[in-house]
Structure 1
Amino acid sequence: MSTPNKTEFTAELEGLAEELRRLRADRGSPTLTKIVARAAAMPGASSLSVSALSEAFSGKRLQRVDSLMTLVRTLLSYDEDGNRRSIPRAAPEMEVWRSRWRGLDQLRSPSKRRSSAVTAAQPPSHVVSPLALRVLTEDLVRGYALPLTPLDGPAAGHDALAFSPDGRYLALGGSDGAVHLQDPVTGQAVAGPLAGHQGIVRDVAFSPDGRLLASSGDGGPVWLWDMTFRSPVGGSLPDSQGALDSVAFSPDGRLLAAVGFGQYVYLWDTVTREMITTLDIGSPRADALAFSPDGTHLAAATSDGSLRLWSPATWEVTGDVAVGDCCDIAFSPDGNLLASAGADGAVRLWDHLAPVDTVRVMMSASARAVSAVAFSPDGGLLAGAMMDGTVHLWDPTNGQPLSDPFHAPLTEAYAVAFSPDGGLLAAVGHDKTVQRWITPALHAA
């Protein structure tokens, strides 16, 4: 029993050390001696030693909580140029590191783990009956999505949402100009609003490793947020112009693309934050863009009804196909299909390797515009958010709808997303609430 615990603890300790090294690099890579001196000059801080710092940065040993908090606070108290900034001991960003220490302390103490296991093993006070579980399971197997209690969103309306890769966060782009982070289960705010936009937040996207969050909006600039500290990475990204409607990370997380009003796709290096190139979309506006899962294509849907493809290897145009008025696009997880959300109420599937004819067309009965599309992580479901407030589910292998549309209490639905495990589907729109469903088990069969 001790080997698995030790392995898990070692892995988590190495992860903590990596984050400490990254924080040190972000603060100008001060020497160990300088860190010790800065800590000594900080009121209320514990004393640090060069040897203890070496162990912390190498992941050799878990420091005492006061030592770790002093190290983190010392690093946060200086920017990359060595300028002093005030970081109180009770600052919100410090709680993230305290939580990490508590988790590691729990892992290294078998007695605490056993105590937690006994506590977790106690049955809850309210248990769903076996018959009710059988009914729920049968509905899921038959392809019916099950509605859950809506979450109360923080803004009057939301134009964007995204699950973090680990499923811990649900990011909401608000009409109040802020990005809000919620627990997708309880709906409780995880942190204070990420404020920086001057207008409605139009899109949010997590990097593949979950370390970064990008947001775009009516205010113009794109913001890049560090999810460890839930703070901006050096302010808004440079050189973009006009309102930007869509952002997307490359599969390796090294590139961030954005597009909106204006005739260009903007591309930045997420490490250096420098703009590396702009791509002419041949139109005054694009509503959506997406990288293919293998990173070999970048696609953008333009306001003139075309779907333009580029190769990130050369940034040459590799395809330019008429798809009609399009509000959103999404690649299937295997990269074989590209879905486009039509203003005519149709979702079209394309073979992105040879996008000449559509693979199939899926129509909604309302014929209202489809504002957003999303594939489930296994590719077995395709969801579409409609401007009549409904959400539709299709089987992308045959284009058939799964049950009836979900009549969410939204005047208009603007965005839809699956959780990383595919078990939940969420939608937001012209309403304060976040709508959620348990997705059907048909695609897992």
Structure 2
Amino acid sequence: MRDGGLGGDGGFDKQLALFAEDLRRLRIECGGPSYAKISRLAPKEQPLSNSAIGEILTGKYLPGVDPLMALVRILLTVGADRPPARTDPRLAEWRSRWTELKIRQSALRNSSTFAAPAVDQPTSAVPAGSTDSPAPTGAADGVGAPSSVLLEQGVPVRAVLNALQQRALVSVDLAVEDTGIINSIAFSPDGALLAAAARRGSSVRLWETATLEPAGQLRTGHVDGAIWIGFSPAGGVLASAGNDGSVRLLDTATGMPLGQFPTYIPRIPNAAARPCAFSLDGRLLAIQAEARLVHIRDAASGDLVCEITTGDDNIDMLAFASNGLLATGHSVGLHLWDPVTGAVAGKLSAGNNPTKSISFGAANVSEASALAATVSYQKPRTVRLYDLNTLAQIADFFLHSPEPSYSLRAVFSPDGRILAASTDETLIMFDTTTREIVHIVLVNRRSPLAFSPSGRLLAAANSVGLGLWILPAAPEPS
């Protein structure tokens, strides 16, 4: 397949024509199935008419990602006499090329109204779909060509162009209607999708991060909504834990169920439950089976790998560290476990303050710099930073909240450079390298947090929608 990157020659129309040409070539390589055969093989949830197939293959317009991927899967199935695996790299490549074209199309639509940003003006929010841009507050940061950042970050064109011009946060607001309070949010491992699970309803809503446009829903089957969702790092699978006491696995491409397991859901109002976690390679799935029991399962087969019993300490949360260990959060701190043998690998004390949220940063350079954080919800509300190799505390800072907060969260950027922590009123971003607070943002009862895989987009949810911030790039080393 040719390189269709944003940095390539030609505008949107030319790239769309090349895209369609490659689709026609794929059809020939897969045996040249007729339009009628492709239409018959199309899934019920994504029908493809003969005319729609012809228009896609001739490049008459850029189709939505769902009909495109349905067409690609059908062609690959015909060519190999079996459906492609969810992790087939060809699927990811076609989705990536579609995202590139979508960004080009969005840039083309906005180009007629785009004006170069003025200097030294206050920064403002950019509502999703808006044509107004936040003005920069400083000089360009030298991150690189806008096209490469657009491809990598998958965020609105105008917002990214302005983010490149400043070292301040750029805010993007995304309204979410008729869902109630959002319990959990997650980015897909390729950064193409943002998912949100609300307290009301059994579906997980999806948005394309390239355009912030709705990308459909995945029906989890939970009786009373999902309290946690997470994508497998291996791709193709979404796990959800529901108030009905079940963990369900869904194929993100087809929405079909892949498995179901029981889980323990504490009946605590506003509980920051995270009863599941995928290992970093996506092969293992840790599930809280009881208040003090964790089941480690093979994510593909569902087979039980081992059981971990935490003794007298109830489990608040699960997470995998960059060194492969499983962490369980408790009122007394963090316990570290070997996920294959179930053996204890270490303990981190949270002092006298219960741990409300745990999150692990990947190693910046090597596993020697792996990090962990704890957040306490009693006064003083303290965020503590630990070195996982030495199990020593290396930094701390306070979250300012006038009342006891049960909506505390903390999450590391994928490279471990930024730790974001939030209360009901404040979102703080802490540079783990310089040990300094780099951003403080006033928020309205935002709770779940998630970084995009690139680390440049931070999403936070509240009762009325999603807030997203584009982070400035890290300064170049001097």
TM-score normalised to structure 1 length = 0.71
CA distance in 1, matches of 2:215, 2:106: 23
Q: What residue in structure 2 maps to residue 230 of structure 1?
A: 255
Q: What residue in structure 2 maps to residue 70 of structure 1?
A: 40
Closer, same or farther: CA 152–276 of 1 in aligned 2, 3 Å: same
Counterpart AA for 1:67: K
Pick from 101, 124, 142 the counterpart of residue 111 of structure 2. 124
Three-state SS of the structure 1 residue aligned to 2:467 is strand
CA distance in 2, matches of 1:219, 1:159: 15
Q: What residue in structure 1 maps to residue 399 of structure 2?
A: 364
Q: What residue in structure 1 maps to residue 336 of structure 2?
A: 309
Closer, same or farther: CA 153–267 of 1 in aligned 2, 3 Å: farther
Contact 2:222 2:242 in 1 (8 A): yes
CA distance in 2, matches of 1:382, 1:393: 6
- Counterpart check, 1:99 vs 2:132: no
Give the deviation of 1:300 after TM superposition: 0.8
RMSD: 3.8
What residue ranges of structure 1 are gaps of 5+ in the alignment? 17-54, 74-86, 109-114
Three-state SS of the structure 1 residue aligned to 2:173 is coil
Q: What residue in structure 2 maps to residue 353 of structure 1?
A: 389
CA distance in 2, matches of 1:200, 1:156: 10
Pick from 434, 437, 441 the counterpart of residue 398 of structure 1. 434
CA distance in 1, matches of 2:169, 2:226: 29
Three-state SS of the structure 1 residue aligned to 2:40 is helix
CA distance in 1, matches of 2:103, 2:318: 45
Closer, same or farther: CA 183–167 of 1 in aligned 2, 3 Å: same
Q: What residue in structure 1 maps to residue 263 of structure 2?
A: 240
Contact 1:350 1:359 in 2 (8 A): yes
Deviates more, 1:373-382 or 1:179-188: 179-188
Closer, same or farther: CA 64–117 of 1 in aligned 2, 3 Å: farther
TM-score normalised to structure 2 length = 0.67
Give the deviation of 1:176 after TM superposition: 0.9
Contact 2:426 2:441 in 1 (8 A): yes
Q: What residue in structure 2 maps to residue 382 of structure 1?
A: 419
Closer, same or farther: CA 142–341 of 1 in aligned 2, 3 Å: farther
Q: What residue in structure 2 maps to residue 209 of structure 1?
A: 234
Pick from 299, 318, 324 the counterpart of residue 327 of structure 2. 299
Counterpart AA for 2:305: I
Cα displacement string for residues 319-363 of structure 1 (whole angstroms, at most 9, x for unaligned residues): 1232141111111121511112221422111111221x3111121
Aligned length: 367
1:265-344 superposed matches below 5 A: 265-283=294-312, 285-295=314-324, 297-302=325-330, 304-323=331-350, 324-334=353-363, 335=367, 336-344=370-378
Contact 1:151 1:187 in 2 (8 A): no
Closer, same or farther: CA 342–265 of 1 in aligned 2, 3 Å: same
After the TM superposition, which segments of 4 or more aligned residues of structure 1 sit over 6 Å from their partners? 94-97, 115-121
Give the deviation of 1:146 after TM superposition: 2.0
CA distance in 2, matches of 1:331, 1:126: 42
Pick from 367, 373, 376 the counterpart of residue 410 of structure 2. 373
1:146-295 superposed matches below 5 A: 146-178=170-202, 179-184=204-209, 186-234=211-259, 236-237=260-261, 239-243=262-266, 245-259=274-288, 262-283=291-312, 285-295=314-324
Identity %: 25
Cα displacement string for residues 16-63 of structure 1 (whole angstroms, at most 9, x for unaligned residues): 9xxxxxxxxxxxxxxxxxxxxxxxxxxxxxxxxxxxxxx99x974464
Contact 2:170 2:469 in 1 (8 A): yes
Closer, same or farther: CA 267–131 of 1 in aligned 2, 3 Å: same
Closer, same or farther: CA 338–67 of 1 in aligned 2, 3 Å: same
Counterpart AA for 1:396: T
Counterpart AA for 1:362: F
CA distance in 2, matches of 1:59, 1:270: 33
Three-state SS of the structure 2 residue aligned to 1:135 is coil
Closer, same or farther: CA 121–427 of 1 in aligned 2, 3 Å: closer
Give the deviation of 1:193 after TM superposition: 4.5
Three-state SS of the structure 2 residue aligned to 1:406 is strand
CA distance in 1, matches of 2:201, 2:422: 22
CA distance in 1, matches of 2:456, 2:294: 33
Q: What residue in structure 2 maps to residue 41 of structure 1?
A: none
